[in-house]
């Protein structure tokens, strides 16, 4: 027993210096990381953005610092380097997949950069982590709308409205989703309510005009489309509605002019190409009608591919975690 005790004591004494050395090494590494972050912050305050980015990148590379990656992404975004900013944010999410701060930053950047698939992935995770935060459900609905997933967008926006009833932005987005699903009567009521709360919003006015045109109320549709264009001359949906009204009236030249303005304002919309194909057909221009129809099919195929990619995206399991390092 004495021999065993002596062996254990000797082992403890031998281990002590190694443990202390490891603690000193960890402390030095922490100081190095803190120094890099402090240097980056000081360089940024002095207007030396390139020096700050270099220090944040070094902190991210050497210490896997999520805080450094978030700051680096902000600088890259501010410099107009969207691809680098997205890469930094994706790296931060890999390191901290359950950080609300990281997911929120990724979602907001992706929405601003018109990248609905990564935005929806981050916001899906946020709505699961924070189910009572209406803003996350609202933004999730907006991302799904941008990806043309009107069914899931409707569900997300209804949940946002349940959590915080009567927000005009939520009502407007929900009206847009219902327009996409051809539920025009309900869309009209929600859009009108949104305008009562926030009068004069051009996108909401244009969406209301679309609902009115689809319900056959052409005078109201033209009135509200022109109100939208008076405030925002490049409002694509308003031009589209005027084209739809002129098409119903048999004024095909005027319809084409309005549709072409809509297409210039929103070149990614398949709906506008489809309406243009109808206008060209009425004008007897079969070649132009065919080109518009082909463009419609191509854009629709791209939307379907984006939808598949978004639905296939996996969301990491939510776990408890600390603040980003």
Please, are residues 324 and 101 in contact by the beta-carbon 8 Å criterion? yes
209: Cβ–Cβ under 8 A, 6 or more apart, which residues? 220, 221, 222, 223, 224, 225, 228, 237, 238, 241
pLDDT at 23: 54
Sign of the torsion formed by the C-alpha atoms of 118, 120, 123 and 129: negative
Q: Which of 218, 152, 227 shows the shortest CA–CA distance to 195?
A: 227
Please name the residue ranges forming H helices in the chain: 2-45, 49-63, 66-78, 82-95, 100-112, 116-129, 134-146, 150-163, 168-180, 184-197, 202-214, 218-231, 236-248, 252-265, 270-283, 286-312
Query: Which CATH superfamily hosts domain 33-96?
Result: Tetratricopeptide repeat domain (1.25.40.10)
pLDDT at 30: 52
Q: Cα–Cα–Cα angle for 116, 122, 126, nearest 5°? A: 130
**What is the rounded distance in angstroms from the CA atom of residue 138 to the CA atom of residue 290?**
38
270: Cβ–Cβ under 8 A, 6 or more apart, which residues? 295, 296, 297, 299, 300, 303
Q: Which of 225, 228, 227 shows the shortest CA–CA distance to 214?
A: 225
- For the chain of 325 residues, list the mean pLDDT of each consecutive stretch of 10: 35 44 50 82 90 91 93 94 95 95 96 91 96 97 93 97 97 98 98 96 97 97 98 97 97 98 95 97 97 96 85 51 46
pLDDT at 22: 55
* Tokens representing residue 183 in the block: 């539920």
- CA gyration radius, the chain: 27
Q: Tokens 């129809």, residue?
A: 293
69: Cβ–Cβ under 8 A, 6 or more apart, which residues? 56, 60, 88, 89, 91, 92, 95
- Measured in degrees and rounded to the nearest 5, phi and psi for residue 80 equal 80, 10
Burial of 215 (0-12, 13-18, 19+ CB in 10 A): middle
Question: What torsion, rounded to 10 degrees, do the Cα atoms 75, 76, 82, 87 define?
Answer: -110
152: Cβ–Cβ under 8 A, 6 or more apart, which residues? 144
Say which DSSP state 268 is in: T
What is the pTM (predicted TM-score) of this model?
Answer: 0.81
Q: Tokens 């009135």, residue?
A: 223
């Amino acid at each position: 027993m004495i021999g065993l005790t002596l062996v254990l004591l000797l082992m403890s004494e031998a281990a002590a210096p190694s443990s202390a050395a490891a603690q000193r090494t960890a402390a030095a590494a922490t100081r190095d990381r803190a120094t890099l972050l402090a240097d980056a912050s000081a360089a940024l305050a002095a207007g030396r953005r390139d020096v700050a980015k270099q220090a944040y990148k070094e902190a991210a590379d050497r210490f896997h610092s999520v805080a450094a990656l978030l700051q680096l992404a902000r600088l890259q975004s501010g410099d107009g380097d969207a691809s680098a900013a997205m890469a930094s944010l994706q790296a931060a999410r890999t390191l901290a997949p359950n950080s609300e701060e990281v997911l929120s930053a990724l979602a907001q950047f992706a929405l601003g950069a018109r990248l609905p698939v990564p935005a929806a992935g981050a916001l899906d995770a946020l709505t699961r982590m924070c189910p009572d935060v209406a803003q996350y459900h609202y933004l999730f609905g907006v991302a799904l709308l941008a990806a043309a997933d009107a069914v899931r967008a409707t569900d997300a926006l209804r949940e946002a409205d349940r959590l915080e009833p009567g927000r005009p932005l939520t009502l407007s987005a929900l009206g847009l989703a219902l327009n996409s699903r051809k539920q025009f009567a309900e869309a009209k009521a929600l859009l009108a309510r949104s305008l009562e709360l926030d009068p004069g919003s051009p996108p909401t006015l244009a969406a209301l005009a679309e609902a009115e045109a689809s319900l056959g109320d052409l005078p109201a549709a033209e009135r509200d489309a022109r109100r939208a264009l008076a405030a925002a001359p490049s409002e694509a949906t308003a031009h589209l509605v005027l084209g739809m009204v002129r098409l119903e009236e048999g004024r095909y030249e005027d319809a084409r002019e309005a549709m072409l303005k809509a297409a210039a304002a929103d070149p990614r919309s398949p709906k506008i190409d489809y309406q243009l194909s109808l206008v060209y057909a009425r004008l007897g221009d079969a070649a132009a009608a065919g080109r518009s129809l082909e463009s419609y099919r191509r854009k629709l195929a791209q939307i379907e591919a984006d939808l598949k990619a978004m639905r296939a995206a996996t969301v990491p399991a939510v776990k408890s975690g600390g603040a980003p390092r």
